[in-house]
Structures are given as C-alpha cells and as structure tokens.
Amino acid sequence: MPKTRIMAFTWSTLKNLFSKPATKNYPAEPIRYPERSRGHIEIDIEDCISCSMCARSCPTGAITVDRKELTWAINRFDCLACGYCVIKCPKKCLHLVPGYQTPEGEKKEVSFKRPAPAPKPAAAPSAAPKAAGSASAAGKATLNGDIVTMANGKTMDLSKFPAEKKAEILKKLGLDAAPAPKAEAEGKATLEGDIVRLPNGKTMDLSKLPEANREKVLQKLGLK
Amino acid sequence: MEEREKKRSVVPFGPQHPVLPEPIHLDLVLEDEKVVDVIPSIGFIHRGLEDLVKKRDFNEYVYVAERTCGICSFGHGLGYVEAVEKCMNVEVPIRAKYLRTIWSEMARIHSHLLWAGLMADAFGFENLFYQCWRLREKNLDLVEMTTGGRLIYSVNKVGGVLKDITPDMQKVILNNLSELEAELRDVYKTFMTDYSVQERTRGVGVLTKEQVHDLGCCGPYARASGVARDIRQLGYEAYGELDFEPVVSNDGDNYARCDVRLREVFQSIDLIRQAIAKIPNGELSVPVKGNPDGEAFIRIEQPRGEAIYYVEGNGTKFLNRFRLRTPTFANIPGMCETMKGCSYADIPLLVVTIDPCISCTER
C-alpha cells in the first residue's frame, strides 16, 4: 500500500507561483528558431532550370512550374516544409529555412520568374546531310546514320533504343520515310578478320560464338 | 428482466469530449449510474491514407506515413521505412540505427508526458496537467534542435536518416534530459502518492492477466496487468545492443497504468543515455536502387503498444498496399471490457488510460 499524502504537490505549486512564467512573451519577444528548424522553402531563381522535379515530388502539390512562362510558384499554405523538393532538385537551388508562415486572410501563391536562358546556337551545319539541309533550316529534326539532330541543336543516338522505339521516334519526328534506305546503304556491316563492325558502331567478335552461329550471323548481316 | 431493461438508457459519449485527444464515439448503456454495456464506433477521422500509397511513390510516402498521427509520428515513419527496407533487403548503417533509436525514445518521452497531462486533466488536476506539459516542452525543444520540427520529425528515409546528432547536440541533450528527470521525479511522486489521484485511480478499471491474453491488449496497457511483453526486446534498430527490461506492474488498474507509463519515461531517458554513450561513427544512409517487390512485415513498439506494418510492392515505384495495425485498435476491446460495471463518472478516465490515438487507428 503506497503512502498517501494530502499536499503532495504543494512545494511545486509554491515554486511555480514565485518563479518566471514558462510562456514566452511572443510577439513582443521575437522567436529564436533553432538552426535546423523547417519553416518555409526559398528558391535561388537564377539557378532554376524548370525541370519541375520539385513539382512532381511535392506530396501536397504546392509547387507549380511553368516551362513556357519560366515561372516557379509555391502555395505557402499548402507547403508542409517536409524538404523532399530540396532533396530532389538537381541544381540544389531550393532551401528549407526557418521562419513559419504568418497568418493571412486567404491562401495565395507566390510566384518567381527566372531570366530567360541564352538562345542556343543553330544546329551544326556540317552534321546535317545535304538532302535534309532545308529541313533543319525550317526547324525540323535531321537524321544522319543513327544520330538525330533536333531543331534545338541537341543530338540523340538512336542506336541506344530498341527497334520499335526507334521506329516510333522516327515517326514522331517525321523522319521515317525516305532516310531509311539511305541509312541502309550507308550503314553496312564490315568484316575485319573475326571482328564484325556493325553500322551502329558496335563490334562483335565472331571467335567467341560457336561455329554454327557464326554462319547465321554472317548471313544475316549480308557478309556471306 | 423486462423491468431492468426498461430502466436502461443509452447515452452517447464523444466524438467531441473535453477529455478526448481525438474523436471516438461510445454508446454507453446505463442502468441508473452504472454502465452495463459499451458499443464503440470509430470512423470520424478516416482519411484514406492507405490508399494514397498508390499515388505517391515509395520514397515520398514517408512524409505521408509520418503525418498519420501527431503524437506517434516518428514511429509511423520509422515502421514504414523499416518495412520497405526489409522488402528491398537494404542494410542500414549502424549509426543511422542508433540515431533512429534515440529519436524513437525521445518520441516515447513526449508521448507519455502528453498522456500524463491528459490523465491529470481527466481527473481534474489541471495544475499537474500543465506541469507535465511544461516538461514536455523541454523535450520538444531538443527534438526541434536535432530534427527541425517539434512533432513531425521528417528525418527518416528509405536507407537511413537525413540528419545527424553532432557531439555538441549530444551534450545539450544529456544536460536537458537530466533537468527533465529531476523535475519529473516531483511529478511522479505526486501521481503516485497524492490522495485525490489515488481516490480516482486505485481499483478502477481492473484487467486481469487472463483477460489481457483473451482480449489481445498490448503495450503499457498490458504491461500494467503483469504481462511482460515489450516488442523492443526483439532487438530491431539498436535496441539489441541496449540493456533494458520491460516495465511491469501487477495490479492492473488505472493506478498501475500511470505507474508503468511514468516509469517508462525514466527508462527512456536511461536508454538515450546508453545510446549516446555507445553511438559509433559512420554514414547516415545508403543509396537505394530499384523498386520494392514482394511483401514485408515489421513490428515496432510505439508508445502505445505494438504496431504492425505491412507493405507489398509490385516492382514499380508505387507500392501495392500498405497496412498499419495500431495498438489502440487492439486495446479498444480491453477498454470496453473494463467499462462494464463501472460508474458513469469513471468513463472519461477509462477512455484515457488506454492512451487512445484514434487518428492512427483509422488512417
């Protein structure tokens, strides 16, 4: 049977009565946040590339990225300050800093606009084949062997894709009609001893294959 | 028999009640002032979080799982992440395990002090309620210093943890916990020896050991009836390397439950001291490649009892299923059993002694 006391809490009560209150006198006394406090998201807008990884990763959908208008907007009231966008940003331009959102009358978005990127140089003229020269000037993609040069100057190596995907891409870019036979004529496999050099640049060592398969491969490549 | 039935009345308790931290509804069947039967119903705070796992990829879902509940939030993040790690066979670095253990115990301290305050409020001792919550503020300051948030920690990720506890922070933690412990002794003494507390809690809501086994109760609720079961003994995270015994009491009434939970706070402070003394150096996380495929099942000891986490992956970045069985769900039948035959004025206390966390119960 434990002890029973009538005034067990009296000493604590008297101590509390005559000591400093535990309540902080906010807003007269400003808040001191610890260093790691998760308050709100800030962005270095000059470094943003509008990839929208942050918008895709936000659990609440508080971030909106517009690639055409080059804006990055956040609804601070929806933001949880979880920090996932900070982890996902490839350019590390987002930061989670202390300071909670102050109360306001209605939810609204805060928008930032980044400076427009410098215009890219025109598609390299030496790479474009003569037949499609006019196409690149008009802003279309061009095909040279297995390399597609897009209107914005970027290149794509089609040999990395499987055959169906390759056909799909060519169709999408409008390159599937004429260049195909040209590619075949240009890209034939060549045989150097035991090494077969394929049109996509890859090499195959026939000595590693069994005898029966070697014949099949050479026949397939039209080298026999 | 008919006469007695005519005298019965059904009184609704909740979902809004001053003593409840979260909404639960009980239909109390009363005969005069004595409770004869209890019919619980839940569903007021169901948000469909388990379905959301199909729309948020498995890395992002940690932030959703944490926000299942404000009181047991670290445990939910930890359980989910551990289940996904088990599914993907990821081995977490040892320093991350120790850090997770330290944060887990800090979450336990905050939860038990919150409960102690609510219990004091339930029997009308508001002064003690505020004292408990003032102690809890010290704990929350430590948590904010190390993780950035007071209730939602957001430090777990699949593969490890995101932040470190530096040696300076460890010193501050040890200092502040010593102060907390000294003040907590006063509070513990008041809970255990004060006359008014004893009048309200001794002999009320008794559950025997056999009843606990039959009804499937878990956590401090079961340990107060003499069942020495603590899931931390399984040795998940760094608990295998720390030295502790489950805190048990044999009486099975509300008084024993107060005793068990407050003694667990002292045990948690001791565990944090052990972990900080032993914490090894190392990395904080390992990179995780690929998507979860298959099933995994994890049990952890939340402040309220044993929580079970089940994930099922199908090879894509969205999980197929995430299921969480919370300890409060297992304790509700026990609660209803204790209420039969008690007086109407004891109902709020009996609800608060299971430490109800209804937002985890219905995600």
pLDDT in tens, A132-187: 444 444 456 677 667 777 767 677 777 767 767 777 777 777 766 544 444 444 55
A224 pLDDT tier (thresholds 50, 70, 90): low
Q: Quote the Cα angle for B250-B252-B257, to 5°.
A: 95
Domain range annotation of chain B: 2-361
| Mean pLDDT for chain A overall | 75
Which residues of chain A make contact with B145, given a CB cutoff of 8 A? Answer: 34-36
pLDDT recorded at residue B114: 93
- How much is the ipTM here? 0.81
A contacts of B198 (beta carbons < 8 Å): 2, 4
Residue A180 Cα distances to A163, B214, B223, angstroms: 13, 76, 77
Express each pLDDT in A22-76 by its tens digit. 888 888 888 888 888 888 888 888 888 888 888 888 989 889 988 888 888 888 8
Quote the pLDDT of residue B111: 93
Nearby residues of A189 by Cβ (< 8 Å), 6 or more positions away: A196, A197, A198, A199, A221, A222, A223
Low-confidence ranges of chain B (pLDDT < 50): none
**Nearest-CB residue to A5 (from B128, B141, B194):** B194
Amino acid at B40: P
The whole-number pLDDT of residue B140 equals 92
CATH architecture, domain B2-361: Orthogonal Bundle (1.10)
Q: Cα dihedral sign for B76, B79, B314, B287?
A: positive
Instruction: List the single residue in A2, A8, A36 with the smallest CB-CB distance to B147.
Output: A36
Yes or no: domain A33-113 corresponds to CATH 3.40.50.620:
no
**Candidates B147, B186, B193; nearest CB to A5:** B193
Q: Which residues of A touch B (CB under 8 A)?
A: 2-6, 8-9, 11-13, 16, 22, 34-38, 57, 59, 80-84, 87, 96
SS3 at position B16:
coil
Residue A131 in this model has a pLDDT that exceeds 60: no
Q: What angle do CA B230, B319, B317 make, to 5 degrees?
A: 125
Closest CA to B329 of B93, B24, B86: B24
B160 touches B92 (CB < 8 A): yes
**Residue A124 clears pLDDT 90, i.e. is over it:** no
Range from A104-108, A116-120, B98-102 that averages highest in pLDDT: B98-102
| Res B105: pLDDT | 93
